[in-house]
Amino acid sequence: MKSGGVGGGGNAPTKRRWRGLVLGVLGLVLLSMLVPLVFLLGFHNGFQSPGFVSEQSSASNPIRGYIKDSSRDTPDLSEGDQSRHVDDLVRRLAPTLSKDIFKKSKPKEETIGGVTVHDDVPRKASPAPAKKVPRVSPTINKTRADGPTHITKNPKYVDESGKQCELKYGSFCLWRQEHKEEMKDSMVKKLKDKLFVARAYYPTIAKLPAQDKLSREMKQNIQEFERILSETSTDADLPSQVQKKLQKMDAVIARAKSFPVDCNNVDKKLRQIFDMTEDEANFHMRQSSFLYQLAVQTMPKSLHCLSMRLTVDYFKSPSDVELSLTEKYMDPALQHYVIFSKNVLASSAVINSTVMHAKESVNQVFHVLTNGQNYYAMKQWFIRNTYKEATVRVLNIEALNLENQNLELSLPVEFRVSFHSVDNPPVAQMRTEYLSTFSHSHYLLPQIFQNLKRVVVLDDDVIVQQDLSALWSLNMGGKVNGAVQMCSVRLNLLKSYLGERSFDKNSCVWMSGLNVIDLDKWREVDLTETYGRLLKELSMGEGLSEAVASLLSFQDLIYVLDDAWALSGLGYDYGLDIKAIKRAAVLHYNGNMKPWLDLGIPKYRHYWKNFRNQEDQFLSECNVSP
């Protein structure tokens, strides 16, 4: 019994030791399970240790996370910025303090790159980790190149897809917002898109025997859309029930998409859409080019109406006995201006602008040379309208008694040249310039005005902004033609047009528009004969031959006028400097976009419209746009 008692007493401590071990293991297991739960549930936030940062994004490596953010937000730091960022670094790495430490702070000012950005968001301290608020990078909005730079925080813009994008300077979102245009005939385009989608899914649905009903519905909707689109191409002509038809098509397409689709059919339809779109784009490009040239070369209906009404009115009006102005027409002491034109309004605007800016208009004589078709309309217009004390004479060039000359009126020749820019050879960008030179009719000047010594030739697409009387006292040093040169185009760049003839390669191209002509010197060098000889030698197109012959005829005979006398390019160049426009004495609308056409450059048209007669009865009757 004793031995049994002793043996039993010996096993009791052993059992107690094993029991303690089991309890310890169970405690460790429970602890290992509870610790992750504590972190997952966020209970650790209330007892952070000094080694943790309150910002979740920097928990794994706070130093690395801070450096990344600071390098993005503040690339360039001054000494004051560095001290502030040291304090910021200490604040981020320091332990989270109690609520009593931090109160509502004042609005903070940050200096980023020399620009002060105000942050008016009050910050509170909390035992819970503060959510990281990303800094807002400033958006630079430049109003102009030499103006101040305004820096504001980035607003948000929601696009058509519902996504947000930052309105940064130069971003696509900003560009799209500024240049957003209303889509024309959007419903027709939507019907076409739905029709293509239905055609892509229909072959697959038609092969499913169990979907005969859906196949018939798709076929009916496709046929209905084809009929509608064959009858109309604009939203205004669509039937009233088109919205319901579109909803039915959407429902059918949605049902069709729930079935497996044969990718070959979809691929085939997408290729058809691509090919058709490309063909349509090429067609519209050719069509727009043709219509553009047609609009440029055709007189607008309103101007044709004006010419016809003036012609009829000329023959209906009683024949007034005109005062004898022959002596004034031939007096070399007066200021004689010559205009070649077929356009009543254009020639009127030239004369009106010249007279309005002249110190004295009594000495001004304008000779308008036109053809037989427009002669009576021109004559009647200048009978009905007067221009201060200036004298206007209309001549029919076809009725002049000149021997051995082609008397068909031809206006100044405008041609376009394209060449590689020499300023930046590696880029080899193409440049395009419009040049304007004399035509056949200009070489008749010495014969038409035999008693005159000097004339100023104005193109009918110019506007005068200053007094031109100083041109009559110019000492041209034996030169024939006083003109403004365009040194951005030199004869060397036109060697493909000029051929192998001898010419100064560095000579600048001269422009018509404003030309001071010394008729005595012209007759002395027999410039008309030189032009005729060169014209026979050239075998290019008619207009180009005239231009090249003019450029070569006036070699070493050009008196260079200051650039401030005339500014060219208002008929094709959108980027002219407004200050240069206001400073120029004459504005030349050379190019296709003339100011009297609807396709004229809008921001330049008002300079021309200011000098157009607005009160004539025929202007309103012919619906000439104001």
Strand-pair partners of 149:
142
Question: Which residue from 558, 530, 535, 553 is spatially nearest to 545, judged by alpha carbons?
Answer: 535
Identify the residue whose tokens are 């030499």: 146
pLDDT band at 464, cuts 50/70/90? very high
The CATH number of domain 302-621 is 3.90.550.10: yes
For 147-198, write each residue's pLDDT tens digit.
333 333 344 455 555 555 544 433 445 445 655 667 678 888 888 888 888 8
Q: How many residues does the chain have?
A: 626
Residue 222, pLDDT score = 92
Query: Is 80 exceeded by the pLDDT of residue 323?
Result: no
Query: Is 80 exceeded by the pLDDT of residue 380?
Result: yes
For 33-42, write each residue's pLDDT tens digit.
776 665 555 5
Query: Is 90 exceeded by the pLDDT of residue 523?
Result: yes
Rounded Cα distance, 343 and 461, in Å:
10
Distances (CA, A) of 181 to 51, 169, 192, 280, 393: 57, 20, 20, 21, 49
Rounded Cα distance, 445 and 405, in Å:
12
Question: Rounded mean pLDDT of 4-25?
Answer: 61
pLDDT band at 126, cuts 50/70/90? very low
The count of other CB atoms within 10 Å of the CB of residue 379 is 20
Residue 505, pLDDT score = 75
pLDDT averaged over the chain?
75
pLDDT band at 68, cuts 50/70/90? very low
- The better pLDDT of the pair 211, 336 is held by 336
Query: Is 90 exceeded by the pLDDT of residue 458?
Result: yes
For 128-148, write each residue's pLDDT tens digit.
444 443 433 333 333 333 333
Strand-pair partners of 560:
483
- The better pLDDT of the pair 188, 405 is held by 188
Query: Is 70 exceeded by the pLDDT of residue 53?
Result: no
What's the token pair of residue 10?
A: 């010996």
Residue 124, pLDDT score = 41
Query: Is 60 exceeded by the pLDDT of residue 603?
Result: yes
CB 391 within 8 A of CB 365: yes
pLDDT band at 294, cuts 50/70/90? confident
Rounded Cα distance, 371 and 345, in Å:
15
Query: Is 50 exceeded by the pLDDT of residue 228?
Result: yes
Query: Is 50 exceeded by the pLDDT of residue 349?
Result: yes
CB 577 within 8 A of CB 604: no
Rounded Cα distance, 169 and 98, in Å:
43
Residue type, 599: L
Helix 344-356 with 301-316: angle, nearest 10 deg? 80
Query: Is 90 exceeded by the pLDDT of residue 515?
Result: yes
Query: Is 90 exceeded by the pLDDT of residue 92?
Result: no
Rounded Cα distance, 442 and 517, in Å:
10
Query: Is 70 exceeded by the pLDDT of residue 604?
Result: yes
Question: Rounded mean pLDDT of 45-71?
Answer: 38
Query: Is 60 exceeded by the pLDDT of residue 81?
Result: no
Ranges for all domains in the chain classified under CATH 3.90.550.10: 302-621
Question: Which residue from 509, 389, 406, 514 is spatially nearest to 460, judged by alpha carbons?
Answer: 514
Lowest mean pLDDT among 135-139, 200-204, 342-346, 389-393: 135-139
